[in-house]
Structure 1
Amino acid sequence: MMGRYLIGLLMFALVLVTSPARAHKPSDSYLTLKVAGQQVDGQWDIALRDLDFALNLDQNGDGDLTWDEIRSQHAAIANYALARLAITSGDAACPIVAGEQLIDQHTDGAYTVLRFRATCAASGPALGVGYRLFADLDPQHKGLVKLEYEGVTSTAIFSPEAARQELLLRAPGKFAQFADYVKHGVWHIWIGFDHILFLLSLLLPAVLAPIAMKQDQTLRAAFIDVLKVVTAFTLAHSLTLTLASLQVLSLPSRWVEAAIAASVVLAAVNNIVPLFRGRRPLAAFVFGLIHGFGFAGVLADLGLPQGALVLSLAGFNVGVELGQLAIVAVFLPLAYLTRRTWFYRQLMTTGSVVIALIAAVWLFERAFDMKVLPV
């Protein structure tokens, strides 16, 4: 009975990971609020794929959003978004007026950039923000909010469960700022499905004894194998995340994302046809360097406060590691307990084929800037 329960859990985990294959990560938006006295200047980056789902921007249904289609819907986009955003100062609402709209590319596709201005009747010690974008369509949607006031930056994550928050107009404490970026790091490793699939593909063989061994794999040996892979991956992506975030190194995001997809393909294929032959930690390190640039792209979308750049970068990196360790903590005991079952054999073969196919589609989409999987 326990074995069936554990197998069910592993199957459920695989479904969770592979079901969002339609996109690099779940829905989120980036909202920047710059406060100066009674005036709030805002910029809201919202994924066009999400707006298309909500407003049917692709009017001719050909699957390709054009600039004319987007421009013709500017008023509808502004009305839809701003109706789901409320800004208050004290007990008084701050009326919002829409401004221009542009298009920008983020690491996961095209975003509309909606600029607006809010005027508050009186300035106060905090800015109240109510955020309900896509709350009725996607309960997993997150709003990543950056507040800038007198040269100080603070951040917050909005969700349907945390739809209203009071953002203090003062410098956050160092611990609070560090903790904010830890939360961002955890969130982004959990929604980075390509990073998760890469890591899981490398970890799947850890609980299986090498062919040359006559005895079964021990839990201690599996733990050491996992430790080697995870440590190599961590060292590599921490290095490039830091260098890219500090603008020491830079690579085009499109090619970084394509290389990440290629790494997932190779890691999954290795479970069927051995490519690395006992060098999985080395593969984790080499490909981890590329994944670090991917994390840096996410962090660039969020923004790093210049006044606490190193602290925030460290917090984000710690969050990534905590999120990663949480995944490993769930995976390793379940994988070890089910390693002799039919399900685990299927996970190694059929599951790896599915992961490789999904990642191959990602690779094609990112390398050629074309859409294959439905949004």
Structure 2
Amino acid sequence: MTHRLVPWLLALAALSFGPAAVAHKPSDAYLTLQVADTQIDQRLDVHLRDLDRELVLDHNDDGRLQWAEVRTRWEELQRYTAERVRLSVAGQPCSSVATGEPQLDEHTDGAYAVLRSRWTCPAGAQALTIDYRLFADTDASHRGLLRLSHGAGAPQTAVLVPGSTPPTTLALAASADGETPSGFAGFVAEGIHHILIGTDHVLFLLALLLPAVLVAGAAGRREAATQWRPMLAEVLKIVTAFTAAHSVTLALAVLDIVDPPSRWVESLIAASVVFTAIDNLRPMLAPQHRWRLTLVFGLVHGFGFAGALKDLGLGGGSLAASLLGFNLGVELGQLSLVALFLPLAWWARGTRFYQRGVLIGGSSAVALIAAAWVVERVFDLKLLGS
């Protein structure tokens, strides 16, 4: 009975990141707080895509938001965000009023609404509590990226998880180097989080692993591998190549040595998934050379990881620690996926379900999904939903 369940568990592991998954980078909002005595000026940048998903801003449903569609709903946007971002000190709520004119700003992954407000808090506050609930009920992957400035000290940064209990509290005296409260461990956790919710990275890795438990047989047909050591050695080469490649470009991008446009990076990442999935269907590379393919595409994926790390906010003193922590988190997340998938694939490798259903059917589905991502990212369209 257990053996019969394995193919279905394997299919779930391979295809659970399908069309419903977001084809863009994970959802982020940018919360900037400038503290001056009892007043706090707030700027909140929220992606129009996320607001459209919640409030249906695209009135004519043409897949493209127009400035007029956003501007006419601006007061609603202000109310929506004000209800979901609240500040308090020592248990006493701060009061806020909306300020500023309707405004958009361009971030690496598209246009964001810029919503400003001014808070008045009780005097004598030593710490500020941020109760952040933006998209808490609809997007578990969303994160708020906080930057808090107070006086002449270095800004503090933090990653806000919507609806977290207890809410995030920061001292109103910034540390000397602007270190985040979560420090190194926090960047490790965010690296793990990013790889696990990064659907394109996950599908790329799974597409690489799908044929790993098979070998070329008679008439070029794939057959179940009989020895696990050569299979494991090949997987280790692939994982090592991916790690080495994306570590290089992650560092280059974070250090601003190389900074390619995000739109083209995301498009090339999607294209790498398409190519790898098609190579599963119509092999163009010998199995022993797939690590070279991984090395090349890993360079592109590293730039994608760098965009996520930059969004988290890096103080100069914490750059090395945050880079190392985030990269370590990505590797831990990647290894957890390999550890989950590979034993199941090895167990089911001899079944027709795996060789036809998972490898051929799964690779076909991945190729189609990723092809849609390429179109979405190159032409800034919405095909698979938000």
Q: What is the TM-score normalised by the length of structure 1? A: 0.92
Match of 1:319 in 2: 329
Given that 1:272 and 1:352 are in contact with CA atoms closer than 8 Å, whether structure 2 keeps it comes out as yes
Kept in 1, the 8 Å contact 2:19–2:369? The answer is: no
Farther-moved stretch of structure 1 (44-53 vs 168-177): 168-177
SS of the residue corresponding to residue 381 of structure 2 reads coil
Amino acid at match of 2:365: V
Q: Supply the distance in 2 between the matched residues of 1:38 and 1:342 (Cα, whole angstroms).
A: 68
Contact 2:157–2:180 under 8 Å retained in 1: no
Cα displacement string for residues 76-116 of structure 1 (whole angstroms, at most 9, x for unaligned residues): 10110011111011122121222334323444443222232
Structure-to-structure mapping, 1:260-299, within 5 angstroms: 260-277=269-286, 278-299=288-309
Per-residue deviation, 1:324: 1.1
**Aligned counterparts, 1:1-375, within 5 A:** 1-100=1-100, 101-149=102-150, 150-162=153-165, 164-169=167-172, 170-171=174-175, 176-211=182-217, 216-277=225-286, 278-345=288-355, 346-375=357-386
In the TM superposition, residue 342 of structure 1 has moved relative to its aligned partner by 2.4
User: Within 1, Cα distance between the matches of 2:180 and 2:33?
Assistant: 21
**Would the alpha carbon gap of residues 90 and 174 (structure 1) be closer, same or farther in structure 2, given more than 3 Å must change?**
closer
Question: 1:39: Cα distance to partner?
Answer: 3.1
- Supply the distance in 2 between the matched residues of 1:82 and 1:160 (Cα, whole angstroms): 15
Contact 2:143 2:162 in 1 (8 A): yes
Deviations 1:254-308 (A, max 9, x none): 1111111110111111101112223111111111111111111122222212231
Contact 1:152 1:307 (8 Å CA) reproduced = no
Identity %: 48
* SS, match of residue 275 in structure 1: coil
The SS at the match of 2:280 is coil
Query: Could you say what secondary structure the match of 1:32 adopts?
Result: strand
Q: Is contact 1:144–1:158 with CA below 8 Å preserved after alignment? A: no
Distance 2:189 2:118 in 1: 28
Q: CA 1:215 to 1:133, structure 2 compared with 1: closer, same or farther past 3 Å?
A: closer
Deviations 1:172-200 (A, max 9, x none): 77894111111111111111111111111
Say whether the 8 Å CA contact 2:248–2:302 is kept in structure 1. yes
Q: Is the 1:81–1:133 contact (alpha carbons within 8 Å) kept by the matching residues of 2?
A: yes
Q: 1:139 to 1:182 in 2, by over 3 A?
A: closer
Task: Note if contact 2:160-2:168 (Cα within 8 Å) is conserved in structure 1.
Answer: no
Asked whether the 8 Å contact 2:195–2:201 carries over to 1, the reply is: yes
Distance 1:60 1:183 in 2: 40
1:295/1:118 Cα in 2 relative to 1: closer, same or farther (>3 Å)? same
SS at match of 1:250: coil
Q: Where does structure 1 lack aligned partners over 5 or more consecutive residues? A: none
Q: Pick which of 72-81 and 137-146 moved more.
A: 137-146
CA contact (8 A) 2:156 2:179 kept: no
SS, match of residue 276 in structure 1: coil
Distance, in Å, in 2 between the alignment partners of 1:20 and 1:176 is 31
Instruction: Please tell me whether the aligned partners of residues 147 and 158 of structure 2 are also in contact (alpha carbons under 8 angstroms).
Output: yes
Q: Specify the code of the residue in structure 1 equivalent to 2:249.
A: T
